Amino acid sequence: MFFDAESGLTDTMFLSPQMMVDYAATGRSIIEDCQHEIFIDDVYENIASVRTYACKWVDYLHIVKARGEWRILHVTWHPGDLTYAASGAIRVGPNL
């Protein structure tokens, strides 16, 4: 999701896995002293729901275990001011 300052509305966009890798490779998303919080909200056999708070973003991820490895299936993210998520702790949900 992103915020369109001109219209004052949020909107969605599609980014392929390769587009995300290419963007990360530019280094423009690197933020010094970035704190992260990771919450594994639920796991059921080979599927899981994960929430992260990192610097300027909130991410909701659906992940799957395929061929013995955990892989990201889907990410929904939103920019935000996350000064409250600065502990750097990794927290695990009760269903793990």
Q: Is the pTM of this model over 0.95?
A: no
Paired tokens of 21: 């890798």
Question: Measured between alpha carbons, how far is residue 44 from residues 12, 17, 54, 61 in Å?
Answer: 28, 24, 25, 14
How far apart, in whole angstroms, are the C-alpha atoms of residue 64 and residue 70?
Answer: 6
Model confidence pLDDT, tens digit, residues 25-81: 887 766 777 777 889 999 999 999 999 887 777 889 999 999 999 999 988 887 765
- Structural Rg of the chain based on CA atoms: 15
Does 1.10.287 match the CATH number of domain 2-92?
Answer: no
How far apart, in whole angstroms, are the C-alpha atoms of residue 56 and residue 29?
Answer: 10
